[in-house]
Structure 1
C-alpha cells in the first residue's frame, strides 16, 4: 500500500464545504486621496483548477501522517489531488527528517511539473538549514504556489527577493481541524481563504478601527511574515527589500523588549523608511518578568519607529499564530486603506 492509499484508509470523505466570505467587518469609507502610481505585480503562479495536484512536504518540523489527514480530506473535497512527500512521517529529533531528506523532498516538489502547489505541513524550525541546498531553476521556469507561514517565511522571503514570484502566506496542514462539524466559523473562513487564493478569487479583508491606526492609502506588493524570521535572514541572500511595498509582520513567544529590538533593527536598516504601508498582525507575547516590565505596548513600539513617515499603519490584522490567520498573497499587488472607519486590504 502506498503512502496515499495508507492515508486514505485513515480518513473518510467529508462533505464539501462551500466557500465563505472573507473575514470582514464594516468596510471603511473611501478616502479622498490622489491616485498612487501603480506598481507592477509580481510573477503570479498559475491558479489551481479541479484535478490539479497539491504536494505536502515537511521542510521544517516533524509531523505524522495522522496529523495531516484533515487537510488531505478537505483539499480532496475541493477537487484537488494530493501527493504526500517523503518527509511527512520522517523524524530526526525535532525535524521532519535530516537536512538532506527534507531538502530532497522539497526539491522534488518544486521540480515535479505535475505538482501545481506545495503546502508545507507545519512550521517549527529548519528551513534556514536547507534553503541554500535548494535549486530554484525548474521552479522559476514553471512557478507554482508555495504555501505556509511562520518558519516558512524563509521561503517567502527568499523566493520574493530572488525570483519575484508570488507565494501564499497561510495556515498549514497542522492547522486544519479533523472534525469540520465542530470547527468554529473563524477556522472555516481562514482555511477557505486558502482555496480562494489558490483558485484566483478576488478578496478584500476589512477590519474595524483601532485607536493606534494611522490613516492613509498605499499601493504596492505585499511582503512579510514572521518578524523573527525576517530578522534572522537580514544581510543574507534572502533579505527582503521593502521600498514601495506593503509590509506585514506577526510573531509569537517573544518578549516586548525583543519586539522593540527587532523593530529598531528594521528602522536602522532602512526597512521602514519607504514603505507603502505597514500591517501589524497578531503578536502573542511572553509576559514580562516581575520587576522587568518593559513599559510599552506593541502599538507604542511600532509607532515610535514609524513616527517620521506618513504611510498608513493598521493594527490587529487577522494574520499570525492565531485562529484568524487569513491567506495573504506575498509578492502580489495590493491596496491598503486606513481611516477613522477601519482598514481594508485588497488584492489587485
Structure 2
C-alpha cells in the first residue's frame, strides 16, 4: 500500500473532469472552495468543452488526467463530478508507466473506475469522498466538511463508522476482523466485470452504494457478483446509501426485501448503514488502507486508517 501525503496550505490541487461536465458556476464554486481551504486550485483551460455525453472527448479528458498524474508539483487529483466516462479512459491509463510517487485521488460515483485502477494496478490508497462541485455548491454540512479537512490535513488518522447494522448471523459473529475497503458505486463496479480491470475483492471488505437503481437491478448485479465469485473471495459486504430506485407501481423502493434476501443467501458478513454514497451525508471512506471491524452490543464498529502520512 502506497501512502499519500497530508495536505499543507498552499498545496496545488489538480482538478480533473473524467466523466460528466460541470457548469461554469460549479467550476467557479469548486475553485473558490479550494481557495477557502488555502489551497491552490489548478483547473486547466479547456477542461470542459461541449460534448454529447462527457466533459470533453476521451483523448482530451485523458490528457488532463495524465497531466495531473505526472505533474511534479502536486500530489492530489480531485474530481469535479461523476456521471459517466471514467471507464473509457482505463485502457489509455493502462499504457502509462506506474508513477514513482503515489498521489491521492478523491471522488465518488463514476470515479469508482479510477479508484479500482489505481488500487489494483499501482497499489495506491485513495479516498472515496465528495466531489468538488458538491463542495463548491455548499452541499456538504460544516460538520462533515470539517471531518474531511481534518483527514486531508492529517489532524485525523482514522475514520470511524459506528452503528453499522449486521444483517445476518455471519455479521453478528464478527470479532476483530482486520481487512481493507475496496469498492464504490455498484453499477460502475459491474461495468468492470469481464475486463482486465475487474474489481478484486480478495481479503477485502466490499463497500457498495448506488443511486436511481431499482431493487431488481441491485439484485441482478449482486447475482452477477456471486456467479463471478466476488463474494467468495471477500471478507464481507458493507452497504452504503442506496437512494432513489422507487418502484413505478408503489412509489417506494423494495431495497429492504432485496437486502434481506441477500443476508439470508450469503455466508459472508453483510452490514448496512455506512453513511457514504449519493445521500445528503457523504462521509469519506479510505480505500486500500488497514481497517478493523468489530461487533459490540449488536452494532458494527468500523475503524479505517486514512492512509495519509507527513
TM-score, normalising length from structure 2? Answer: 0.87
Matched, 1:203 2:162: no
1:167-213: per-residue Cα shift (whole Å, max 9, x none)?
Answer: 1111101211545xxx6xx6223333332332332223233353736
Q: CA deviation at 1:111?
A: 0.8
Matched, 1:151 2:110: yes
Matched, 1:271 2:230: yes
In 2, distance between residues paired with 1:143 and 1:194?
A: 20
Matched, 1:101 2:68: no
Where 2:263 maps in the other structure, the secondary structure is helix
Q: Is the 8 A contact 2:116 2:197 kept in 1?
A: yes
Matched, 1:63 2:22: yes
* Structure 1 segments (4+ residues) deviating >4 Å: 135-139, 293-296
Name the count of aligned residue pairs: 299
Matched, 1:344 2:298: no
Where 2:4 maps in the other structure, the secondary structure is coil
Matches of residues 162-177 of structure 1 in structure 2 within 5 Å? 162-177=121-136
Q: Is the 8 A contact 2:15 2:80 kept in 1?
A: yes
1:52-99: per-residue Cα shift (whole Å, max 9, x none)?
Answer: 111111111011331033333232232321100345432212311111
1:206-236: per-residue Cα shift (whole Å, max 9, x none)?
Answer: 3335373632132112111001111110121
Q: Is the 8 A contact 2:14 2:77 kept in 1?
A: yes
Matches of residues 102-121 of structure 1 in structure 2 within 5 Å? 102-121=61-80
TM-score, normalising length from structure 1? Answer: 0.78
Q: Is the 8 A contact 1:57 1:84 kept in 2?
A: yes
In 2, distance between residues paired with 1:73 and 1:239?
A: 36
Q: CA deviation at 1:119?
A: 0.6
Q: CA deviation at 1:129?
A: 1.5
Q: CA deviation at 1:43?
A: 1.2
Q: Is the 8 A contact 1:207 1:344 kept in 2?
A: yes
Where 1:287 maps in the other structure, the secondary structure is coil
1:240-298: per-residue Cα shift (whole Å, max 9, x none)?
Answer: 2212111110011111011011111111212112322321100114222339x979624
1:37-58: per-residue Cα shift (whole Å, max 9, x none)?
Answer: xxxxx21122222221111111
More strand by share: 2
Query: Which deviates more from structure 2 when the two are superposed, residues 143-152 or residues 272-281?
Result: 272-281
How large is the Cα RMSD of the aligned pairs?
Answer: 2.4
Query: Which deviates more from structure 2 when the two are superposed, residues 272-281 or residues 110-119?
Result: 272-281
CA distance 1:87–1:142, change in 2 (3 Å): farther
Where 2:141 maps in the other structure, the secondary structure is helix
Q: Partner of 1:123 in structure 2?
A: 82
Matched, 1:319 2:279: no
In 2, distance between residues paired with 1:92 and 1:82?
A: 24
Gaps of at least 5 residues in structure 1 are 1-41
Q: Is the 8 A contact 1:63 1:88 kept in 2?
A: no
Matched, 1:333 2:290: yes
In 1, distance between residues paired with 2:190 and 2:46?
A: 27
Where 1:260 maps in the other structure, the secondary structure is helix
Q: Partner of 2:147 in structure 1?
A: 193
Gaps of at least 5 residues in structure 2 are 306-310
In 2, distance between residues paired with 1:253 and 1:341?
A: 30
Q: Is the 8 A contact 1:145 1:166 kept in 2?
A: yes
Q: Is the 8 A contact 1:171 1:191 kept in 2?
A: no
CA distance 1:139–1:84, change in 2 (3 Å): farther
Match of 1:257 among 211, 216, 221: 216
Q: Is the 8 A contact 2:181 2:206 kept in 1?
A: yes
Mark the structure with the bigger radius of gyration. Answer: 1
